[in-house]
């Protein structure tokens, strides 16, 4: 058996290459299977939640887990697969969208602009709603376990 040589170290750019800003929200984009067919009797929606915004106003977050939530929906039906996604519009997301810059520090080490003094005494956390997703009746709830 032959194995590929393992890297001896990883840089921050190696790590961050796996994470990108989602540039736009999509609606009902039809996805084509790379092989085979989607069974026509397979129907439903799979919702996923994760960080979708990792940069704002030219400032990249220190850790991807500090990224604003984005819900992705994969809808199956009639032998077809469609993708839609939406940013979770929390109060913090709306405020930063309007300001065009990072206004809150993150739980995983991301700092807002202004250096140590701007961050040392501001303990507010933004609910980034990027961890889980639950359907409750007609509502879809985006979850985050670290704040309100």
Residue 73 pLDDT more than 90? yes
Task: Check whether 142 has a pLDDT greater than 70.
Answer: yes
* Mean pLDDT rounded to a whole number for the chain: 90
pLDDT over 90 at 12, yes or no: no
20 vs 31, which has greater pLDDT? 31
Give domain limits for the chain.
Answer: 22-134
Per-residue pLDDT for 146 more than 70?
A: yes
pLDDT at residue number 1? 64
Render pLDDT for 78-123 as a digit per residue (tens, 0 to 9).
999 999 999 999 999 999 999 999 999 988 888 998 888 888 888 8
* Residue 118: predicted pLDDT: 87
Residues 6+ apart with CB under 8 A from 106: 61, 62, 63, 65, 66, 125, 126, 128
Query: What pLDDT sits at residue 7?
Result: 64
Q: What is the pLDDT of residue 147?
A: 66
């Amino acid at each position: 058996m032959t194995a590929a040589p393992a890297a001896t170290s990883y840089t921050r750019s190696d790590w961050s290459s796996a994470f990108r800003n989602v540039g736009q929200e999509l609606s009902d984009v039809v996805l084509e299977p790379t092989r085979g067919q989607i069974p026509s009797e397979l129907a439903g929606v799979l919702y996923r939640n994760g960080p979708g915004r990792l940069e704002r106003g030219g400032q990249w977050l220190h850790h991807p887990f500090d990224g604003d939530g984005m819900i992705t929906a994969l809808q199956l039906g009639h032998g077809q697969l469609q993708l839609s996604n939406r940013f979770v519009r929390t109060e913090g997301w709306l405020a930063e969208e309007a300001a065009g810059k990072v206004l809150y520090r993150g739980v995983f080490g991301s700092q807002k602009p202004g250096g140590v003094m701007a961050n040392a005494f501001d303990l507010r956390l933004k609910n980034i709603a990027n961890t889980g997703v639950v359907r409750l009746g007609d509502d879809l709830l985006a979850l985050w376990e670290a704040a309100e």
